[in-house]
Amino acid sequence: VNLIIADSELELVPPEMAKHPQVKESAKIRGKPATEILLDSTNHFKAIFGEQRRGRPDIVHVCLLLALDSLANQQGKLKVFVHTRNDVIIEIHSSTRIPRNYNRFVGLMEQLLLVGKVPPEGTPLMTARKGTLQKLVDELGKKAVIFDENGKTKRIGELHLGDKTVIIGGFPSGDYLSKADGQKVSLGSEQLCAWSAVAYALSSLEL
């Protein structure tokens, strides 16, 4: 099974927000240039104003903690990808230990988005490259099942995600920014966080 956290709100501070006082202040505290820190709505909400969905690395963090620790991943049956709003595709080796501490996770993602791989030397555990969601789905070559609140309502036992590419939105609200071919499914709640969708999807593999 392939799992893609898609249109994730994970990005370095974009140039147009880099000069905002709130961003400059948090970059100073971190001791890094503003365009080398992750955009984070908790610290940069004034700079993000008007685009409330942006700056949510926490969603990716919790989803990855769940996915990498899952029984499916422990058994070598899962391949995990993060696709971002800027069409960056992050590929994560199944043996990766995601930092459980959020601040360390942020530091790791900053390094990954800047350097293109972590660790920078030796065999990488995570790599980042450019690519659209549809291109990734095509590369993986399996039918896609897309979690979407407008999709057909199913119970967990009806999902049948085995041997599929599962797409879950890594954003807090609104619609997918990217288009991808696939079957849209919903778990019947309009207010489900990405991590809950990941939890239910992973569980459906273990019935």
CA distance 107 to 105: 5
CA distance 58 to 44: 14
**Residue 26 lies near a copy of itself (rule: CB under 8 A):** no
Of the ranges 8-16, 126-134, 144-152, 155-163, which one interacts with a copy of itself (CB under 8 A)? 155-163
* Residue numbers 160-189 binding a copy of itself by CB under 8 A: 187-189
Nearer to a copy of itself, 52 or 74 (CB): 74
**Residue 74 lies near a copy of itself (rule: CB under 8 A):** yes
Size of the site for a copy of itself (CB under 8 A): 34
Query: Which residue is it, tokens 């030397």?
Result: 121
Nearer to a copy of itself, 129 or 155 (CB): 155
**Residue 69 lies near a copy of itself (rule: CB under 8 A):** yes
Of the ranges 12-20, 31-39, 59-67, 122-130, which one interacts with a copy of itself (CB under 8 A)? 59-67
**Residue 58 lies near a copy of itself (rule: CB under 8 A):** yes
* Site for a copy of itself, rule CB under 8 A: 42, 58-59, 62, 65-66, 69-71, 74, 100-104, 155-157, 187-189, 191-193, 195-196, 198-200, 202-204, 206-207
